[in-house]
Amino acid sequence: MEYQFSERVQNLKPSAIREIFKYAADPEVISLSAGNPSPEAFPVRELAEVSNDILTNRPIDALQYSVTEGYVPLRDFLRDYMKKTHHIGRDFDDVLITTGAQQVMDLTTKSLCNEGDVVLCEAPSFIGSLNTFRSFKVRLRGVRMEEDGMDLEALETALREEPAVKFIYTIPNFQNPTGITMSWEKRKAVYALAKKYGVMILEDNPYGDLRFSGEHIPAIKSLDEDGLVLYSGSFSKVIAPGLRVGYAVAPKAVMQKMVVCKQGEDVHTNIWSQMVCDGFLRRYDFDAHLARLRDIYREKSAYTMDLLDKHLAPYITYHPIDGGLFLWCTLPAGVDMPAFCKQAVLRKVCVVPGNAFLTDEAEPCQSFRINYSTPTDEQLAKGIQILGGLIREIVEK
């Protein structure tokens, strides 16, 4: 059979990360390529207690069809929590529970974009979101990243040059893949530019609660007096990604369209998962849980950065992080990055080539991403030592 695919999907390729996961499945390969929470970060006992309680006492509520907007007590909790803790949510906003934050990207693009519209994104940016945007045949334009977030001049040039921009996509905290956090000054400036040019901002914040050092910086959404910002949150990195519970805080008018789109996709987010999240948040001390996660990641990231200093310096540089799960490593000029990543896999260490995160994968890139949260300390030590040996062989030969 010769399959005739839709134009929407014809040019979509499997993500480089998923492809690399094929190698990572080899038990001998040390995978520094995932983006998973640390195995010790999962509140397993608490989730078992909550789930058991739900299935024993309210089984039909958890197993029956439910409403598209999401489980009412969880929406109420989030409305309250986001307002009190993050100053997010005005009278014109509401909360929609989604199937992971990934679905927020999908519903936002479906609701706002026509074919040929433009989405401005950080370059590099999260491949899962880029692929979602691409599937709606929007054009992606990357905006160069600086140490404190997007290059504002490049952002304004893009806004001036592109008449069909629908939204600016940003991951302001511990960005995937670079680990960069946008400064408060830049957050205010990005908001002001969005307002000036009449475009929306999609603020994707799955890592904000995983800050283990430095000062908290408020969300762009906390500035939103004009209904310009669509905020995306997730329980994937702070409770468990397998639950697939994310949420959007969005202007009601936009949310209504997202709800109609969601009805056609999955009717509603898994109601058992939503009840488990809600039960966990209400029954246990969420702030204490987050503090425990921060302790885990502070220690593990420091251990990893020490290894990078020991084995990769002076040849490979990296961006030190205050939170999140990723480290962005840059090879010296003249070293072929894709060849380096391939050589690493042959030596049984898997990292993600940086060009996978660009709007145009063919653009040159000297960086690769490593994840420190999933491997064990032993795997980190061995994997980073192998990368160090490889770069020395290449540079010193």
Positions in the binding site for ligand PLP (CB under 6 A): 35, 100-102, 126, 128-129, 171, 176, 204, 206, 234, 236, 241, 246
| Least distance to ligand PLP, CB of residue 395, Å | 31
Give the nearer residue to ligand PLP in terms of CB position, either 234 or 311.
234
Give the nearer residue to ligand PLP in terms of CB position, either 174 or 315.
174
Give the nearer residue to ligand PLP in terms of CB position, either 171 or 250.
171
What does the alpha-carbon distance between residue 230 and residue 156 come to, in Å, rounded to a whole number? 20
DSSP 116: T
DSSP annotation string for 248-305: EEEEHHHHHHHHHHHHHHTSSS-HHHHHHHHHHHHHS-HHHHHHHHHHHHHHHHHHHH
Q: Which two tokens stand for residue 312?
A: 């990769």
Give the nearer residue to ligand PLP in terms of CB position, either 238 or 271.
238
Give the nearer residue to ligand PLP in terms of CB position, either 15 or 385.
15
| Least distance to ligand PLP, CB of residue 277, Å | 12
Residue 329 near residue 341, CB atoms below 8 Å = no
Give the nearer residue to ligand PLP in terms of CB position, either 170 or 222.
170
| Least distance to ligand PLP, CB of residue 238, Å | 10
Longest Cα–Cα distance of the chain, Å, equals 67
| Least distance to ligand PLP, CB of residue 126, Å | 4
| Least distance to ligand PLP, CB of residue 32, Å | 15
Q: Which residue is nearest to ligand PLP (CB)?
A: 100
CA dihedral 190, 193, 195, 201 (to 10 degrees): -40
What does the alpha-carbon distance between residue 212 and residue 11 come to, in Å, rounded to a whole number? 40
| Least distance to ligand PLP, CB of residue 171, Å | 5
| Least distance to ligand PLP, CB of residue 152, Å | 21
Give the nearer residue to ligand PLP in terms of CB position, either 155 or 248.
248
Give the nearer residue to ligand PLP in terms of CB position, either 128 or 338.
128
Q: What's the CA angle centered on 101, arms 16 and 250, to 5 degrees?
A: 135
* Identity of residue 134: R
| Least distance to ligand PLP, CB of residue 202, Å | 10
Q: At what angle do helices 100-112 and 127-135 cross, to 10 degrees?
A: 30
Residue 264 near residue 123, CB atoms below 8 Å = no
Give the nearer residue to ligand PLP in terms of CB position, either 172 or 383.
172
Give the nearer residue to ligand PLP in terms of CB position, either 246 or 388.
246
Which residues make Cβ contacts (< 8 Å) with residue 41, sequence separation at least 6?
Answer: 292, 293, 296, 297, 373
| Least distance to ligand PLP, CB of residue 209, Å | 13
| Least distance to ligand PLP, CB of residue 1, Å | 33
Residue with tokens 């009717």: 267
Residue 276 near residue 74, CB atoms below 8 Å = no
Which residues make Cβ contacts (< 8 Å) with residue 66, sequence separation at least 6?
Answer: 268, 271, 274
Separation in Å, CA 381 to CA 35, 328, 354 = 18, 17, 22
Residue with tokens 């946008």: 182
